[in-house]
Each structure stands twice: as C-alpha cells, then as structure tokens.
Amino acid sequence: MLQRFNNIVILTGAGVSAESGVATFRGPDGLWEGHRVEDVATPEAFVRDPDLVQKFYDERRAKLKTVEPNAAHQALARLDQTWAGELLLVTQNVDDLHDRAGSQRLLHMHGELNRAWCLACDARSPFDGDMASGPPCPACGQTGSLRPDIVWFGEMPYQMERIEQALRSCDLFVSIGTSGAVYPAAGFVQTARYHGARTLEMNLDPSEGSFHFHESRMGRAGELVPDWVEQVLSHGLC
Ligand code: OAD
C-alpha cells in the first residue's frame, strides 16, 4: 500500500558506503578490518593500547582520501536538496561520504573520523592527519591529548534528544545498509513505528530487526536507494 508523507528520517549504516570500498563492521569472519571490535572500538582498548587504537583510526582516516561517494550517497543528497518537507539523515558511519555527496540535514551519531576530541581541553576540532604521533590539539596546543571523536562501545551516541524528537514526529522512517546489531540505532524503527511512521528497510540481507519494518527491499544500496529517491521525488509516495 503506498502512502503520502512529509517528514522523513533516514538511518544509514556501513552498507551504504560498502560500494565505495569502505569495509563494513561485521564481515563474514566477524572482524573489522582484521580486528575484534573490543580491541579497537572501546574506551578500555584505548587505555590498554592507545597506539594500536590510534593507528587503526589513522589508517581508516587515510583511507577516506582514496574513496568517493557512491550512487546511494548522491541520491540521498539529491533528496535532501530537493525535498521541501522535514528530513533528517542520521548516519552511524564515521566516514565523510554523505558530507562530500552534499547532504546538509545530516547528523553523525557515532562521531567522525575527520574530527578530534582533546582530552585536555574538551574541544572537538576538525582533524585531518595522523594522531598516533601525538600532534598538538588545534584548540589548546597540548600534545598527546587527542583521541578520535568517535563514539565507542559503552559511550553515549551524539544528539540522541534531537534524534528521538525526529523519530517521534516523522511519518516515514527508512533504514539503509545497517545490520541492526547495535543499539540505540537498532531500536529507532520501533520508536518511529510506535509513533505512527511507515517503516522501510533497504539492505543486502534482512537486518536483525527486519520484522519491525512494514517493507524490506533487499539488494545493493547503490541500486535500491536511487530508485527509491526517484519514486519519492516523482510521486511523494512510499
Ligand atoms: P554492519 O557491518 O554491522 O552492517 C552492515 C550491513 O550492511 C549488513 O547488514 C550488510 O548486509 C549490509 N550491506 C553490505 N553491503 C551492502 C550494500 N552494498 N548495500 C546495502 N547493504 C549492504 O554495520 P552497521 O550496521 O553500520 O559503531 O554497524 C553499526 C555500528 O556498529 C557502527 O556504527 C559501529 C559498529 O561497531 C561504532 O563504532 C560505535
């Protein structure tokens, strides 16, 4: 059944960047670029072995310079630029591909590779380089005090109040390229649906919470998302 709507919330995960050549988090071997998540994406890992964690994110940051937004990022940016109603794109991704494609109404709930958080002065600053060498904080000049401005397991995702508010008021919630394995993002569909939104998922395989969605479209984001955006912009229907 097709429905009209005005207020859209979109959640993206690693699958939206897969066709750009950015590795997803949960590969078939359960590892993220050869590492267990708890060895590189927790505050405990950073205390235990800061050099390993810094080098891991330095490599991911350097890799960003070699990849480009794909058709899914571009279609979502076109939707953002064209859609006159409310829209919020919430990404779990720490890459900058939505930004580079041109999305504006965008929120990085898990932080960004291209930002640094200074543990000395608490400033968060744009950052484009290597942190393992202990460069000075762009804000206070202290050396060796920067960490990636990335939300690790056990830490609070960014802007949750704003996201919750958007989920409660949207009438269409769309989830793209996420396994639905990590909360709170995995629970967004339930909040949106409870408050009356239609819910659509686009993913390579059914996500863990697939049964929560009114509709699931299975396939590659680079094909499904441009088709969906075309459908929305031509007919205002989903
Ligand atoms: P995952 O790696 O868990 O899931 C990626 C999903 O994308 C899987 O369900 C794949 O089937 C799907 N996928 C892969 N290629 C695709 C394609 N071309 N088109 C469409 N879908 C495709 O990544 P996330 O769900 O984003 O958090 O992971 C969530 C969070 O867990 C991450 O933000 C990160 C991680 O630990 C933190 O670092 C805090």
Averages of pLDDT over runs of 10 residues in the chain (238 residues) are 81 97 78 82 96 96 97 98 96 98 98 98 97 97 97 97 98 97 96 97 95 98 98 81
Pairing of strands 124-126, 146-150: unpaired
Nearest protein CA to atom 35 of ligand 1, as residue? 25
> In the annotation, is 108 catalytic?
no
Closest by Cα among 18, 8, 68 to 238:
8
Nearest protein CA to atom 32 of ligand 1, as residue? 92
pTM beyond cutoff 0.75:
yes
Answer for the pair 53, 45: CB distance below 8 angstroms, yes or no.
yes
The single residue of 110, 195, 212, 235 carrying the catalytic annotation is 110
pLDDT at 235: 80
pLDDT at 54: 97
CA distance 218 to 179: 12
CA distance 216 to 209: 11
pLDDT at 68: 98
